[in-house]
Chains A and B, each alone.
Chain A
Amino acid sequence: MRWTWFHRLASPPYLYALAARLTPWFAWPAALLILGGLYAGLVLAPPDYQQGEGFRIIYVHVPSAWMSLMVYVTMGVAAAVGLIWRMKVAHAVAASCAPIGASFTVAALVTGSLWGKPMWGTYWVWDPRLTSELILLFLYLGFMGLRAGFDDTQRADRSAALLAIVGMVNVPIIHYSVIWWNSLHQGPSVMRLGKPTMPPAMLVPLLVLLLGFTLFFAAVLLVRVRAEILQRERAARWIGETLRA
Chain B
Amino acid sequence: MTPRQRRLGLVIGIVVGVSIAGTLALSAFRQNVTFFFDPSQVAGGQVPVGERFRLGGMVTKGTVQRAPGSLEVRFVVTDFAHDVPVSYSGVLPDLFREGAGVVAQGHLRADGTFVADEVLAKHDEKYMPPAVAKSLKIRHGEARSDPGS
Q: Are B35 and A51 in contact (CB under 8 A)?
A: no
> Chain A contact residues: over half helix, strand or loop, or mixed?
loop
Does A9 make an interface contact (CB < 8 A)? no
Interface size bracket, B side: 35 or more
Q: B129 to chain A: which residues have CB within 8 Å? A: 46-49, 199, 201-202
Chain A residue contacts of B95, Cβ below 8 A: 50-51, 119-121
Residue of B nearest to A120 (CB): B120
A173 CB-CB contact with B under 8 Å: yes
B55 to chain A, nearest CB (A): 10
Q: Which stretch from A80-88, A214-222, A235-243 is at the chain B interface? A: A80-88
CB < 8 Å: which of A58, A80, A125 contacts B120? Answer: A125
Q: Contact flags (1/0) for B3-19 with A, using CB distance below 8 Å?
A: 01001101100110011
With both chains docked as a complex, state the minimum distance between the C-beta of A197 and any C-beta of chain B, in angstroms.
5
CB-nearest residue of chain A to B94: A118
Nearest-Cβ distance from residue B106 to partner chain A, whole angstroms: 14
In contact, A46 and B35 (Cβ under 8 angstroms) = no
In the complex the two chains form, is B128's CB within 8 Å of A128's CB? no
Q: In the assembled complex, which residues on chain A have CB atoms less than 8 Å from the CB atom of B11? A: 80, 83-84, 165
Task: Say yes or no: is A228 at the interface (Cβ < 8 Å to chain B).
Answer: no
- The total of Cβ contacts below 8 Å across the A-B interface reads 126
Given known contacts A49-B130, A125-B35, A128-B33, A120 and B93 CB-to-CB distance under 8 angstroms: yes
**Size of interface on A: residues with Cβ below 8 Å to B:** 42
Q: Using Cβ atoms and an 8 Å threshold, which residues of chain B touch A184?
A: 35-36, 56, 103, 120, 122
Task: Specify which chain B residues have a CB less than 8 angstroms from the CB of A58 in the assembled complex.
Answer: 127
B residues near A (Cβ < 8 Å) are 4, 7-8, 10-11, 14-15, 18-19, 22, 26, 30, 33-38, 56, 92-97, 100, 103, 118-134, 149
24 A–B contact pairs at CB < 8 A?
A: A46-B129, A46-B130, A46-B131, A49-B132, A49-B133, A49-B149, A80-B11, A119-B121, A120-B95, A120-B120, A120-B123, A121-B118, A126-B35, A128-B35, A166-B18, A168-B18, A169-B18, A169-B22, A181-B30, A184-B103, A184-B122, A186-B125, A189-B127, A198-B126
A residues contacting B by CB (< 8 A) are 46-51, 55, 58, 80, 83-86, 118-122, 125-128, 162, 165-166, 168-169, 173, 181-184, 186-189, 192, 197-199, 201-202
